[in-house]
A and B are shown apart, each in its own frame.
Chain A
Amino acid sequence: MSFEKLNLKGNNQAGDVAGKAAQFGLTLATVGLGFGVTLGLMNGAEDGHTHFWFAYLVAFSFLLTITLGSMFFTVVQHMVNAHWSVTVRRFAELTMANMPMVALFALPLLVPLFSDDVSVWKWATMAHDEHGAVISVEEAGHDAAPVAGLTAEASLAAQGQHAEGGHSKAEELSHAEHFEFTAHKFPFLNRKFFAGRLLLYFLIWIFVARFFFKKSVEQDTASNYDPTLAMKRKAAVAIIVFAFTISFAAFDLLMSLDETWFSTIFGVYIFAGAFLSSVAWMVIQAKFCQKNGLLTEVIHDEHYHDLGKWMFAFTFFWGYIAFSQFMLIWYANLPEETAFYGARLTEGWSAWTWALLVFHLIIPFGGLLSRHVKRNTNILLGWAYYLLIMQFIDLYWIVMPNYHRSEVGFENPFGIMEVSLVMGMFGVLVYGNARRAGKQALLPVGDPLLAKSLRFRNI
């Protein structure tokens, strides 16, 4: 392959726009996070601000999933040698490069993990004795022995008591039962191993993100194709590592909030939302740049059309995975699996669940079906913002029913704190991208496939 370099027309350097965007992002992050944290610290001191930590986990997951989705996007383009996406790939790269900053925002999660006062991951307090050592399976089995001896009748009777309000015995029982169902997971679900795994995930992600970002920037000024070829060689391995890490991170951070529940497809579910929101975020960035007179000559309707196709496809893929998870659990109707949907299909949460079906699947499916929508960039931008909001709603729906799940039923505490925290995290995202955007071209100018990407047309 002979080396050649394109001479691009138009403005491909962010310049002042990046500074302004970074200023905006920083302001949003400061105000949003500041307001959210203040609200969180003002209330709920009696349970160690558990509500705040749940809300923080939702907002953090929002930031993390978009970052991870962008990383997947970048890597998979290299793996399949895609040419259409070259003009918009830098947006995904910029987002992915935020990974070290995202890791910083993961640090506060160590508070709910290691504090005995906060009850976010309930296994965290259950898995340890008073000296902090992990309870072994034998010990746990011994502790749980009285429960195993209980007949189902007694258990039913106890639950009946619970319904009538005299719940001291029932609570004891349910705690003991919980213990019984969870004890065998303690070798995996305990504080130190959990923290160690988080560290490992972030090390891997930071390594992958930095590698692909640095190589891509290197290619901008390189006089041969070595950086691109290096990325292509590593891409397939990175995808495999990504698949495992995002699955296990989803299991750890989100699924283990209900330590008795399990679903092997859960990682794919989180991935679907992550990819969908990262593509939506790319549309927002592309549109923002073009409105500010950047990249006007290189990104055209054909690229938006393809980004729109991804949004459409992953809207449906998300629904497909969500339904796959739901239907198997619904059909088998096994008590240890149905708890997740039991909580989300009763009382206050059922409206959110139905809303998710309608607003996260049916409406965007119909809305993004037409090619005219995908090629009308202003409408597409609207859908991109819409899908980011849906990603937040989805994460909130996954996390928040675990808050207060046994003490006062399943209450839905949605409020200003959740919104301001997630707005703050969005500000962090904007700031992270904008800060780096001015330091190199806004598209991989040295990529050998750039010329093809510029010529790219959908049929």
Chain B
Amino acid sequence: MTADKELYGVVAEFTDVTTLYRAAEKVRDAGYKKWDCHTPFPVHGLDDAMGIRFTRLPWVVLIMGITGLLSGMYLQYWTNAVDYAFDISGKPVWSLPANIPVIFEVTVLFSAFTAFFAMWIANRLPRWYHPLFRSDRFARATDDRFFIALHAKDKKFDLAAATALLKGAGAGEVEEVYEANEPSGMPSVIKGNLWVVACLMLIPPAMVYASYGSTTTQPRVHLIPDMDKQDRFRAQGETELFEDGRMTRDQVAGTIGQDQRFIHASLETGKENGEFVTSFPTQIEVTEAFIDRGQERFEIYCGICHGEDGKGSGVIHERAMELANLGQATWVPPTNVTVSLIANQTDGMLFETISEGRRTMPGYAAQIPAEDRWAIIAYLRVLQEVEVMNALSPEEMAALGAASRGEILFTQKICVGCHSLNGVALVGPPLNGFLDSEIKLDTGETIVADADYFKESILDPAAKIREGALKGLMVLAGDPLTDEEISDLLEYIKTQN
């Protein structure tokens, strides 16, 4: 041992466990703090003899166990009830009994990992090298000898005194141990193996990357075939199990499905005794919050076509008209639902329209619960009321020019629903340039579409049908137009020629 190496401490050899135990008590009483005993087997009570205080590991484990419990709980709360709420057999999305097993497992996982790794940290593991291994005698610590090692860094440490103390306590040999000069890092064998493992771990992602985006004509490999191809009943499937050979079964007589409710006639259908109801069902209470809900639902479900103001210019309509203008689509424009024609419909009729659909509009009964459909109607009534309040009085109408009145009528009577004024063919013929043009009827004769033809067609659309047009396609909603209204409309159309 050369003097330039730092002294690690002294190690004393004992031949039996009782002497070691007594010696440990003496070292403890002498006030040493940085020292340790090394025995071939666990000696019960040695930690008391050494004066080691009880480990704080349980507290760490407890805290991490509670953390695991809360994490497991929050994990499931967030995934099941917040981020991706999903109805599983009608149970609440956040339902504790179903979550207990995972909470339990996460708690155990956190506790066990904490106990394991905190023990490593507390014992300063992993440790690749220890100065005591430089003592040849110390090798017998795993066999039949007992050792006490006093650390030179202890405040009380003094080489002569420490040696004397250990000798006095019955140690056979007391040896000085010096730190090694060379760095004590990870052994190169382990380091090399770790590198190999790290490289091997790159292979799977590399294989995935190599085949990313490639195609194959081979059928996919079924690693777990019975999960990929399950014996189960599919809708419209065939089976030999039932006589009629169908997998889809009828509802068992006298039972009610989980999503089926008892039908409250007016609430669910908008009808009572086969007639449309004229007011809201008794279950519905129209409050401000209810109308707000209706607005929200209207803007989600209706606004994309009918427009958020209900006037028929939603984003889908805008886009479809762009395509129609390019001749790439035919399009039935959505109705302006604020006009008096719609306002005059009963609540029940509107409810049926929303539920079942009308013309190209699909039914929304499957998407919107009945209460929300009524809420939409409540909001619709507000939009219509606003339109009435904004409407011109008869005097103001009279003061307008005929063409301006006709323009209002063109919207009010939903002519815009089928006829464009920019030459684009929608359901009906475009009306710009239509007046006084020559048209061919399905009878084969060619006539001029003059003012009289206009008037006749408005009052009786089926009187003269253009060639290729469908009979009865044009319908007039609401009261028949008066002569003044028709002439106003004509004036407006003339301005569009």
> B44 near A330 (CB under 8 angstroms)?
no
Does A214 count as interface, using CB distance less than 8 angstroms?
no
CB-based nearest B residue for A320? B104
Partner of A330, one of B42, B97, B253: B97
> A327 near B100 (CB under 8 angstroms)?
yes
Known: A151-B254, A369-B62. A327 touches B101 (CB 8 A): yes
Q: Which residues on the A side are within 8 Å of B253 (C-beta)? A: 151-153
Does B183 count as interface, using CB distance less than 8 angstroms?
no
CB-based nearest B residue for A153? B254
A369 to B65, CA, bound (A): 12
Does A233 count as interface, using CB distance less than 8 angstroms?
no
A153 to B254, CA, bound (A): 5
A459 to B89, CA, bound (A): 49
Does B58 count as interface, using CB distance less than 8 angstroms?
yes
Q: Which residues on the A side are within 8 Å of B42 (C-beta)? A: 459
> A331 near B44 (CB under 8 angstroms)?
no
CB-based nearest B residue for A330? B97
> B44 near A326 (CB under 8 angstroms)?
no
| Smallest beta-carbon distance A204→chain B, Å | 36
Does B388 count as interface, using CB distance less than 8 angstroms?
no
> B255 near A152 (CB under 8 angstroms)?
yes
> B44 near A457 (CB under 8 angstroms)?
yes
A78 to B44, CA, bound (A): 24
In the complex, chain B residues 58-117 whose Cβ is within 8 Å of any chain A Cβ: 58, 62, 89, 97-98, 100-101
Does B45 count as interface, using CB distance less than 8 angstroms?
yes
Known: A369-B62, A457-B44, A459-B44. A331 touches B254 (CB 8 A): no
Known: A333-B89, A371-B58, A457-B44. A327 touches B254 (CB 8 A): no
A326 to B95, CA, bound (A): 14
> A323 near B98 (CB under 8 angstroms)?
no
> A152 near B97 (CB under 8 angstroms)?
no
CB-based nearest A residue for B44? A457
A152 to B253, CA, bound (A): 8
A151 to B89, CA, bound (A): 25
| Smallest beta-carbon distance A71→chain B, Å | 31
Known: A151-B253, A333-B89, A369-B62. A457 touches B45 (CB 8 A): yes
A459 to B62, CA, bound (A): 19
Q: Which residues on the A side are within 8 Å of B100 (C-beta)? A: 323, 327
Known: A371-B58, A457-B44. A152 touches B254 (CB 8 A): yes
Q: Which residues on the A side are within 8 Å of B101 (C-beta)? A: 327
| Smallest beta-carbon distance B21→chain A, Å | 13
A326 to B98, CA, bound (A): 10
| Smallest beta-carbon distance B328→chain A, Å | 53
Q: Which residues on the B side are within 8 Å of A323 (C-beta)? A: 97, 100
Query: What 1/0 flags go to A434-459 for Cβ under 8 Å of B?
Result: 00000000000000000000000101
> B97 near A327 (CB under 8 angstroms)?
yes
A330 to B92, CA, bound (A): 12
A153 to B252, CA, bound (A): 11
A152 to B45, CA, bound (A): 71
> A327 near B98 (CB under 8 angstroms)?
yes
Query: What 1/0 flags go to B18-59 for Cβ under 8 Å of A?
Result: 000000000000000000000000101100000000000010
Partner of A331, one of B58, B62, B98: B98
Q: Which residues on the A side are within 8 Å of B98 (C-beta)? A: 327, 331
| Smallest beta-carbon distance A55→chain B, Å | 31
A278 to B421, CA, bound (A): 94
Q: Which residues on the B side are within 8 Å of A371 (C-beta)? A: 58
Query: What 1/0 flags go to A306-343 for Cβ under 8 Å of B?
Result: 00000000000000000100110011010000000000
CB-based nearest A residue for B58? A371
In the complex, chain B residues 389-436 whose Cβ is within 8 Å of any chain A Cβ: none
In the complex, chain A residues 130-172 whose Cβ is within 8 Å of any chain B Cβ: 151-154, 156
CB-based nearest B residue for A332? B89
A323 to B103, CA, bound (A): 13
In the complex, chain B residues 234-262 whose Cβ is within 8 Å of any chain A Cβ: 252-255
A233 to B29, CA, bound (A): 50
Q: Which of B100, B101, B253, B254 has the most CB of A within 10 A?
A: B254
Query: What 1/0 flags go to A339-383 for Cβ under 8 Å of B?
Result: 000000000000000000000000000000111000000000000
In the complex, chain A residues 254-304 whose Cβ is within 8 Å of any chain B Cβ: none
| Smallest beta-carbon distance B377→chain A, Å | 33
Q: Which residues on the B side are within 8 Å of A327 (C-beta)? A: 97-98, 100-101
| Smallest beta-carbon distance A367→chain B, Å | 14
| Smallest beta-carbon distance B278→chain A, Å | 33
A323 to B89, CA, bound (A): 20
A153 to B89, CA, bound (A): 23
| Smallest beta-carbon distance A307→chain B, Å | 19
A154 to B45, CA, bound (A): 75
> B97 near A331 (CB under 8 angstroms)?
yes
A299 to B58, CA, bound (A): 26
| Smallest beta-carbon distance B130→chain A, Å | 24
Q: Which residues on the B side are within 8 Å of A326 (C-beta)? A: 97
A154 to B253, CA, bound (A): 11
CB-based nearest A residue for B95? A330
A151 to B255, CA, bound (A): 9
| Smallest beta-carbon distance A452→chain B, Å | 12
Q: Which residues on the A side are within 8 Å of B44 (C-beta)? A: 457, 459
| Smallest beta-carbon distance B262→chain A, Å | 12
Query: What 1/0 flags go to B178-214 for Cβ under 8 Å of A?
Result: 0000000000000000000000000000000000000
A371 to B59, CA, bound (A): 11
A370 to B59, CA, bound (A): 10
A56 to B70, CA, bound (A): 43
A369 to B100, CA, bound (A): 20
A459 to B45, CA, bound (A): 8
CB-based nearest A residue for B59? A370
CB-based nearest B residue for A371? B58
| Smallest beta-carbon distance B45→chain A, Å | 6
A196 to B335, CA, bound (A): 82
A369 to B89, CA, bound (A): 37
A326 to B253, CA, bound (A): 31
Q: Which residues on the A side are within 8 Å of B252 (C-beta)? A: 152
CB-based nearest B residue for A156? B254
| Smallest beta-carbon distance B385→chain A, Å | 44
A156 to B262, CA, bound (A): 14
| Smallest beta-carbon distance A296→chain B, Å | 21
| Smallest beta-carbon distance B470→chain A, Å | 48
Q: Which residues on the B side are within 8 Å of A151 (C-beta)? A: 253-254
In the complex, chain A residues 238-257 whose Cβ is within 8 Å of any chain B Cβ: none
| Smallest beta-carbon distance B259→chain A, Å | 16
Q: Which residues on the B side are within 8 Å of A152 (C-beta)? A: 252-255
| Smallest beta-carbon distance B477→chain A, Å | 44
| Smallest beta-carbon distance A235→chain B, Å | 27
CB-based nearest B residue for A152? B254
Q: Which residues on the B side are within 8 Å of A154 (C-beta)? A: 254
A330 to B45, CA, bound (A): 49
A153 to B45, CA, bound (A): 74
CB-based nearest B residue for A150? B254
| Smallest beta-carbon distance A314→chain B, Å | 17
CB-based nearest A residue for B90? A333
Q: Which residues on the B side are within 8 Å of A156 (C-beta)? A: 254
| Smallest beta-carbon distance B303→chain A, Å | 40
CB-based nearest A residue for B47? A459
A103 to B28, CA, bound (A): 59
Q: Which residues on the A side are within 8 Å of B45 (C-beta)? A: 457
| Smallest beta-carbon distance A161→chain B, Å | 16
| Smallest beta-carbon distance B255→chain A, Å | 6
CB-based nearest B residue for A151? B254
A293 to B408, CA, bound (A): 108
A152-B252, A330-B97 given; 5 more Cβ-contact pairs under 8 Å: A152-B255, A327-B98, A370-B58, A371-B58, A457-B44
11 pairs, CB–CB < 8 Å, chain A vs chain B: A151-B253, A152-B255, A326-B97, A327-B98, A327-B100, A331-B98, A333-B89, A369-B62, A457-B44, A457-B45, A459-B44
Lowest 4 A-B CB distances belong to which pairs? A153-B254, A152-B254, A151-B254, A457-B44
B residues contacting A by CB (< 8 A) are 42, 44-45, 58, 62, 89, 97-98, 100-101, 252-255
